[in-house]
Structure 1
Amino acid sequence: MTSSFAPDSLVLNRKLPLWYQVSQSLRASILGRAPESSLRLPTEEQLAAHYGVSVLTMRQALKELEEEGLISRHRRRGTFIEPGARRGAPRRLLGSIDAIVAQQSGELTTVLGHGPGPLPAELAEFYPGLPEVVTFRRLRRDADSGEPTNWAENAVRPEIAARIDLDDLCRWPMTKVLRDAVGVGISRITDTVEATLADPVTAELLQVPLLSPILHYTGVTYDTAGRVVDVARIRYRGDRFSFSVTVDAGCAPGPG
């Protein structure tokens, strides 16, 4: 029996465009929906009431998802999730935690392994004085094709890692696990994305040629006390992903 589609709740951040926050939250709900859920979305009015925004804001959010190819809108029929929507579309990052969660939703995740180990030298700047971290390794696949899309290594503080349920990691991105399952208060995440070449491990896991182009993402997560609680290093297939960053000129100076 098909169940109705239910979007996640969202705490709005008044420093970011409302339409963007709503679109990212709805995107995560669409990609992470249960297989048996309905492809038909609630009406614009119902979604607007759910998120506490105006109908105009909701329309702008839906327009963003329509342009990405996740939904289609039909006059007098309603709005529908595209069953064959691709999950490798470009990501637009504006800095909300829900945007980070949305980046990694809607994929099949396998935990490759986890365990404590000495702090890697390249992470020493994030964990000064910490002798070891617990590393979680995961492989993500496209839910439709089963094709590998990215693999991730998360270096987490031991006392926090001890509270992580591996079943949660198979269902949700690490950011959502830390925030919603473990209860870590997250204050900010700093992101770095760079182009690099596939090493032997990455080439084997992502099924790409050795030294082929990939995107290497590093996300450093801070709690409300200002401590780093997680450093994520994710390798994305270069033929499946691109990232775009939008800077609000009213909030930050340009490089010139």
Structure 2
Amino acid sequence: MTSFAPDSIVLNRKLPLWYQVSQSLRASILGRSPRDPLRLPTEEQLAGHYGVSVLTMRQALKELEEEGLITRHRRRGTFIEPDVRRGAPVRLLGSVDAIVAQQSGMRTELLGHGTGPVPPEAAEHYPDLTEAVTFHRLRRDEQTGEPTNHARNYVRPELAARVDPADLARWPMTKVLRDVVGVEIGRITDTVEARLADPETARLLDVPLLSPILHYTGVTHDPAGRVLDVAVIHYRGDRFSFTVTLDAT
């Protein structure tokens, strides 16, 4: 039987290492194929993979255990929960891998994509553009098929030309731009606010009109500050909460 192979990450020393490792593992767990094994490598193997101490690795695994993604058994090892519910809190701590983790592990349907005028909700971020390429996706819980969120990404045309729409059925736009297109990401600025479901959102998410939703805007910049992508995501209010963790050290 093949072993579980988590993605590699470049750790940011300004953020808690355990958090970055837990988010990378979370993304790998939620994004795995149903045919992949449920048993994780040992703590020592995982620590070596990420280049952290065993104590840091244990803290990362504890976070995933508390979230219900894994179970740990003395002498038997650590196992991915096969029936874990994919809906989860929106948690932001300034890590790109945290964003990737948040958007992974759902069944994704590409509703459409094409070039058009920059919409008002993205215009302030693209003062130099008249047109952008829009990718519209609907995400569902892999187990229940229940819609969880729908997203529009407004991407610079020169970058969008290098995006394979098939990749967006597997990975978030952030991961596609960084790991497939090869764009260097400097920072992502996130805004989350409460709104009421408009007719389109109510239909796509299968919720009553004017029911509460979480409206998320994520603006991705390169290291020079140029905007690469503007993501607008509507989350079902009954499936998600919003949590911010501030590191005081």
* Fold agreement, TM-score > 0.5: yes
Conserved 8 A contact 1:27-1:102:
yes
Which stretch has the larger CA shift, 220-229 or 98-107? Answer: 220-229
Q: CA deviation at 1:93?
A: 1.4
Q: Is 1:147 paired with 2:146?
A: yes
Q: SS of 1:186's equivalent?
A: coil
Q: Equivalent residue for 1:181?
A: 180
Letter in 1 for 2:131: E
Work out the percentage of aligned pairs sharing the same amino acid: 79
Q: SS of 1:203's equivalent?
A: helix
- Assess, with a 3 A threshold, how the Cα gap between structure 1 residues 196 and 30 changes in structure 2: closer, same or farther: same
Gaps of 5+ in 2: none
Conserved 8 A contact 2:91-2:102:
no
Q: CA deviation at 1:121?
A: 2.4
Q: SS of 2:154's equivalent?
A: strand
Q: CA deviation at 1:89?
A: 2.0
Q: Equivalent residue for 1:233?
A: 232
Q: CA deviation at 1:4?
A: 1.9
Conserved 8 A contact 1:214-1:236:
yes
Gaps of 5+ in 1: 251-256
Matches of 2:184 and 2:226, distance apart in 1: 11
Q: SS of 2:186's equivalent?
A: strand
Q: Equivalent residue for 2:68?
A: 69
**Runs of 4 or more above 4 Å deviation:** none
Q: SS of 1:201's equivalent?
A: helix
Q: SS of 1:130's equivalent?
A: coil
Q: SS of 1:224's equivalent?
A: coil
Q: Equivalent residue for 1:254?
A: none
Which stretch has the larger CA shift, 238-247 or 116-125? Answer: 116-125
**What are the equivalent positions in structure 2 for 1:35-184 lying under 5 Å apart?**
35-184=34-183
Q: SS of 1:172's equivalent?
A: coil
Letter in 1 for 2:71: S
Letter in 1 for 2:59: Q
Conserved 8 A contact 1:195-1:214:
yes
Deviations 1:37-61 (A, max 9, x none): 1111111111111111000000000
Letter in 1 for 2:42: T
